[in-house]
Amino acid sequence: MAPAPGSPPGIVPASVIVVSRNRPEALARCLAGLMQQDHPELEIVAVTDAPGRAAVARSGTGQWIKLVPFDGDNIAAARNMGLVAAAGQVVAFIDDDAVPEPSWLRRLTAPIGAGDAPAAGGFVRGRNGISFQWRAAQVDRTGRAGALASDPARTILHSPPPDRAIKTEGTNMAFERAQLLRMGGFDHAFRFFLDETDLNMRLSAAGALTAIVPRAEVHHGFAASARRRGDRAPRDLFDIGASSMAFLRKHAPEDRHAAALERLRSTERRRALTHMVSGALEPRDVRRLMRSLEEGIIEGARRRIGETPPLADEARPFLAMPLAGPRPGRVMAGWPWQRRQLHRAARAAVRRGAVVTVFCFGPTTLFHRMRFHPAGFWEQSGGLFGRAERDGPLLRAAGMGTRLAEEMRRIAPLRPVDSMVS
């Protein structure tokens, strides 16, 4: 599908694919964020189970979303179903427990639309909505990731390093759809974990460039699932073990397997013990988790890998999101005791088509948090004198006006803040 006449350079029709299983509330929140993207040629493809499809129906937006029924427990297969159903020139992927900044899709897909690279990845903020969970990384043939130099304000095109790949995060990545179809999409052997990293390695082997786009940001919440709890304590490590072993067999020389597996065991044991010390797990949970990891490794040693024949292009026509494109930004601010009033005003502005940010600061030094409210607006809360960015000073001596100006400047590159509503 060609870009519409008059589209800015790099802007081509883009499909966002979100896979959701047993998390209908998270899916509804993610979709609300996707509805506010400033990309002018957008379609949304939701690959989801019955509860997810019901959540889409309740939202009243079902006629604007391509729904792909899928009740299985294999994220690689689900992503491939979304890829086949999508009709955009570029496909982007986001997790259902994440919400993108309004400029996310436009920024992320621009290098691919311009023909600079067939793959792109952005930055990911963590649960507090301010600290970064992931920035830029490269990965070696054992699946071990390492930091990659990046400029926080500039897109950089990276060539594949020797024996490594440029890593993209599954909750914030985009690809040229035609190339992904030719490559067979995601390997179904990676039912959970490392499916995108396997794809990164295959792209690297083909010599493909990857764009790292720092200001293409999503906020990732780590919602509870069958494999982890809401506090991030693991429930089961079977799929991590299975995917890790399958990845080693597919990409690493055999003489590197033993050391990589010992590193995996050490990492997962340390993670489980950390949760045990915090009171989230009991000693018997640690033993059970480590057994499940070993069982997964055994499964990964016999799992069929590398079956990625080209995928057929079966897409229905591009389902363009109505009223897609830039929206006005509205900023509202007040004290915690005014929160109910602020939320009412924010909901009304969202219904009128604005991207709304609410600042709710108390007279304290509490750290700040940013979240996307299910009603469709952003809210930053904390102490007027507390810090937002975690490397900032603990105490900020500032009045409300000064602090608001600072925070608006911080988010302005990501989200419109055109006017202040008093």
Tell me what pLDDT residue 301 has.
97
Mean of all residue pLDDT scores within the chain: 94
- Whether residue 390 is predicted with pLDDT greater than 80 in this model: the reply is no
State residue 49's pLDDT score. 97
Q: Is the pLDDT of residue 407 over 60?
A: yes
pLDDT digits (tens, 9 = 90+) for 203-227: 999 999 999 999 999 999 877 788 8
pLDDT at 371 over 60: yes
Query: Letter for the amino acid at 128?
Result: N
The 10s digit of each residue's pLDDT in 158-195 is 998 899 999 999 999 999 999 999 999 999 999 999 99
For strands 65-69 and 42-48, give the pairing: parallel
DSSP codes of every residue in 124-190: EE-TTSSSEEE--EEEETTS-EEE----TTS-EEEPPPTTEEEE-BTTBEEEEHHHHHHTTSS-TT-
Residue 107: what pLDDT?
97
CB 41 within 8 A of CB 3: yes
Distance between CA atoms of 328 and 353, rounded to whole angstroms? 8
Q: Is the pLDDT at 397 greater than 60, yes or no?
A: yes
Percent of the chain with pLDDT over 70: 98
**Dist CA 245 CA 85 (whole Å):** 30
Say what the pTM is. 0.95
Measured CA distances, 261 to 169, 174, 264, 306 (Å): 22, 30, 5, 20
* Model pLDDT, residue 170: 95
What integer pLDDT is reported at residue 8 of this predicted model? Answer: 64
Buried b (16+ CB within 10 A) or exposed e, 347-367: eebbeeebbbbbbbbeeeeeb
CA distances from 298 to 139, 236, 239, 244 (A): 23, 15, 11, 11
Residues with Cβ within 8 Å of 340's Cβ and at least 6 positions away in sequence, in order, are: none
Residue-wise pLDDT for 42-74, tens only, equals 999 999 999 999 999 998 888 999 999 999 999
The strand pairing partners of 137, in sequence order, are 147, 167
pLDDT tens track for 91-103: 999 999 999 999 9
Residue 108: which of 130, 91, 129, 84 has the closest Cα? 91
* DSSP at 234: B
Higher pLDDT pick, 330 / 60: 330
What single-letter amino acid sits at 168?
T
Strand pairing partners for 54? none
Domain locations in the chain as residue ranges: 14-220, 238-302, 329-421
For residue 128, which phi and psi values (nearest 5 degrees)? -85, -5
Residue 385's identity, in one-letter code, is F
Q: Sorting pLDDT into bands at 50, 70 and 90, what band is 9?
A: low
Which distant-in-sequence residues (6+ apart) come within 8 Å of 327 by Cβ? 36, 38, 102, 353, 354, 355, 416
pLDDT value, residue 3: 56
**Residue 294 and residue 307: Cα distance in Å, rounded?**
24
Q: Which residues touch 75 (CB under 8 Å, ≥6 apart)?
A: 19, 170, 186, 190, 191, 192, 195
* pLDDT above 60: residue 5: no
Q: Which residues contact 194 (CB under 8 A, 6 or more apart)?
A: 143, 243, 244, 246, 247
Q: What percent of the chain has pLDDT over 90?
A: 85
Give CATH for domain 14-220: 3.90.550.10
Rounded CA gap, 73 and 69, in Å? 12
**DSSP-based helix, strand, coil % in the chain, nearest 5:** 35, 25, 40
8 Å CB contact between 157 and 168:
no
State how far the alpha carbon of 135 is from the alpha carbons of 117, 167, 333, 413, in Å. 19, 10, 30, 17
- Buried b / exposed e along 30-52 (16+ C-beta atoms within 10 A): bbbbbbbbbbbbbbbbbbbbeeb
Contact 174, 120 (CB under 8 A): yes
- CB-based contacts of 149, cutoff 8 Å, min separation 6: 136
Report the alpha-carbon distance of residue 252 to residue 233 in Å, rounded.
29
For the cut 80, the answer to whether the pLDDT of residue 421 exceeds it is no
- pLDDT at site 392: 78
